[in-house]
Structure 1
């Protein structure tokens, strides 16, 4: 019988330190989490098997549904939902963003932010946001990502970009209204008169809210700030609205018009949008678009490559980032 020799494990302090050091590769890969889940009037808790939702109804009594926490990019908790601390901790370990929303997912009141994140992309975002020239360049790049390269006039101001965008969106509304034979369409969003809105507006609001949840999950997974927007500002979701606008014309607006005759446009919009996420591979697109917009001249590693990056560095304006977890006192020994 042939035998092989197994290398002895590295018990040195350096080996233990390398094994214990957290790296980006250890974090859940947000591009693998392609779906979301909306819950209301349920109790979410952790048991010995996993995170589950307890649902009570007159017709079916008490039911327990286990949630695929590792496969979810975000969970939207609507009215009447309670969640325990152990369940929230499990979502956090899997990098799942938890959003507290209003009825049907409309309005986002709060969101969890994972704590073990690199600040690389937040620093790129802050530098671009704080410089007016770079901020306009990012806004222009967003416009061209939506409508095609070269569509922004050279030297266009932000006001001109807003006007051009408005004309294009109105033209899309008009085209889709003609295709679905629903007459003149006017976009309206009024949470105070929610039930009186037409099916297209209801479906569009519901689908957009789900899109905001997915975008928010991608932004916080990269460690960016949802509040530092380049086109939108003055709101904690400003950057979420910026990035979500890149995909509405392709995803949520056509979907909403297709539900113009639906009797339950909100729930159908959420289900249809969720079913189409894998087809559009939305989460990988969002991550790559964020990286390209914030650092267009950087080379990005393949998502399948192993990453070996320390999560905590020390800032130095002369030498650049220095590794953390190291004693930097000068060595005066002779």
Structure 2
């Protein structure tokens, strides 16, 4: 699989530095005093994704090296919690994108993924095999209402109702403000992971019609254990948006959410795929899947770089 997003060097977040290419490699520099500049070299060959936070400038030679090594570059907000743009190398495999598109265009397989997404939210609950998507939507609505009620009781809040009005943003209560802010952070993290896998954030299985439909699909798997408890805990906060972003960033380190996102996305798109028992070598990681091949409706995929003139004759 390319890239190996779940590895220890999957993502590197930079903030307030200048990224450039020198005679040794790609490095990040920051001027700490008028006469002192600190330099840290970036292991580009071992990175799947480089997150560029606020205050980062990067040179064209550095971007060229990152692209040559197959490293995705994503422009994000502070702490890596909002994704604004992604630059993907042309060598990024389309393997997972093809899996996503093939599953998305097949109505039966798309329904299967949507149902399994709902089942993942119910965790260990026993659901009949005959349950329909409509029934699951209703059960999910009841589950969220019950969760809102439990969290409100735990924090001594009266009746809570989810309320999201961008045109009346500052008129909302602290819980809704914190929840909207934390959800935005969650969307940014998931968006970065999907880009690093080469997936399309627009092709959702439950949500549809938006460029971030698949992001919303995956985010719904984790809200009940991440953003919701955090938002209710900030019901008395004077600045719930800022505190939600800060606390959510700290919580992500404990949850190790990125490896879970990768495993869940892969299992949803390819449920019959066996789990990897050992880590592949660096060479296998980046060349194990043919990056370029030819498509044939009868013969499947054929190797590229081959002259087929004699065979066609």
TM-score by length of 2: 0.77
| Structure 1 residues 155-174: aligned runs within 5 Å | 155-174=130-149
Task: Quote how far apart the aligned CAs of 1:206 are.
Answer: 1.9
5+ unaligned residues in a row in structure 2: which ranges? Answer: none
| Structure 1 residues 1-334: aligned runs within 5 Å | 28-32=3-7, 46=20, 50-51=27-28, 75=51, 83-84=57-58, 86=60, 95-99=71-75, 110-149=85-124, 151-302=126-277, 304-306=279-281, 307=284, 308-330=288-310
Whole-angstrom distance in 2 between the partners of 1:72 and 1:261:
40
Q: 1:109 to 1:283 in 2, by over 3 A?
A: closer
Deviation per CA, 1:139-191: give whole Å up to 9, x if none: 11001111125654433333332222111111111111110112222222233
Whole-angstrom distance in 2 between the partners of 1:311 and 1:299:
21
Asked whether the equivalents of residues 81 and 249 of structure 2 are also in contact (C-alpha less than 8 Å), the reply is no
Deviation per CA, 1:36-60: give whole Å up to 9, x if none: 8697xx78664757346899xxxx9
Whole-angstrom distance in 1 between the partners of 2:148 and 2:39:
40
Task: Quote how far apart the aligned CAs of 1:105 are.
Answer: 6.5
Whole-angstrom distance in 2 between the partners of 1:132 and 1:76:
38
Q: 1:158 to 1:205 in 2, by over 3 A?
A: same
Point out the more displaced range, 110-119 or 241-250: 110-119
Structure of higher CA gyration radius: 1
Task: Quote how far apart the aligned CAs of 1:124 are.
Answer: 1.7
Deviation per CA, 1:253-310: give whole Å up to 9, x if none: 1111122222332232222222222322211111111111111112243462233232
User: How many residues are aligned here?
Assistant: 296
Q: 1:36 to 1:181 in 2, by over 3 A?
A: farther
Whole-angstrom distance in 1 between the partners of 2:147 and 2:89:
37
Deviation per CA, 1:77-136: give whole Å up to 9, x if none: 67xx6855537667766734525679x977x66444443222222222112211222111
Secondary structure of the equivalent of 1:176?
helix
Asked whether the equivalents of residues 38 and 105 of structure 1 are also in contact (C-alpha less than 8 Å), the reply is no
Task: Quote how far apart the aligned CAs of 1:137 are.
Answer: 0.8
RMSD: 3.7
Whole-angstrom distance in 1 between the partners of 2:86 and 2:217:
18
Secondary structure of the equivalent of 2:74?
strand
Q: 1:262 to 1:303 in 2, by over 3 A?
A: farther
TM-score by length of 1: 0.73
